[in-house]
């Protein structure tokens, strides 16, 4: 049985991880075997620069943190070597970086196991679909462009009517002056 000090440290780790998972928008569980130290360092740097956290955590601690955070359905994926990448700044950064790494290194056993979005578990296919989405700024621009289209069309119609009225009044004025 672990000593009181070790048990307290593990409880502290679970509490910190639980808080981080509650605040996170998205999380990606990966099987991190087969990754070299050099590539792992590069991956961690990319995730850190994107505002994401990447940790290798014992499966039992991660399972307890998920339970305390209210995230269900991921315990079945907590087998073997597991790492988690999560972010509270956006939804697509961590999945994109992980998916890009998996594509760039197909000969390793590094793979997406599953993940969560806003506290709900999703499978690896759901994480891969999320990785295909454009960044938030592009999505907002597309929505605003869609909203701007009808308004711009209405403005063009109004200006066309005004232009026709001006031409007609100008023609009447020329006719009366002649």
Residues 130-173: tens digit of each pLDDT: 888 887 778 788 788 777 777 777 777 777 777 877 787 788 88
Give the distance from CA 36 to its chain's centroid: 25
Q: Helix 93-104 vs helix 124-132: angle between axes, to the nearest 10 degrees?
A: 100
Least confident of 48-57, 59-68, 76-85, 167-176: 167-176
Question: Which pLDDT value is given to residue 161?
Answer: 74
Residues 108-128: tens digit of each pLDDT: 888 999 999 998 999 999 999
Mapping DSSP to helix (H, G, I), strand (E, B) and coil, where does residue 175 land?
helix
**Which residue, among 53, 106, 113, has the nearest Cα to 80 in the 3D structure?**
113
């Amino acid at each position: 049985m672990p000593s009181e000090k070790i048990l307290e440290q593990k409880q502290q780790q679970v509490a910190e991880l639980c808080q981080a998972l509650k605040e996170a928008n998205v999380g990606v569980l990966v099987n991190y075997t087969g990754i070299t130290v050099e590539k792992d360092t590069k991956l961690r740097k990319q995730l850190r620069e994107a505002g994401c956290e990447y940790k290798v955590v014992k499966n039992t601690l991660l399972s307890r943190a998920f339970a305390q955070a209210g995230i269900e359905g991921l315990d079945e994926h907590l087998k073997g070597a597991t790492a988690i990448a999560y972010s509270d700044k956006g939804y697509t950064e961590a999945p994109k970086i992980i998916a890009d790494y998996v594509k760039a290194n197909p000969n390793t056993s590094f793979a997406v196991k599953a993940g969560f979005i806003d506290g709900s578990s999703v499978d690896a296919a759901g994480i891969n679909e999320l990785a295909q989405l454009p960044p938030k700024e592009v999505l907002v621009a597309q929505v605003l462009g869609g909203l701007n289209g009808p308004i711009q069309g209405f403005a063009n119609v109004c200006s066309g009517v005004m232009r026709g009225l001006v031409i007609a009044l100008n023609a009447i004025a020329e006719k009366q002056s002649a």
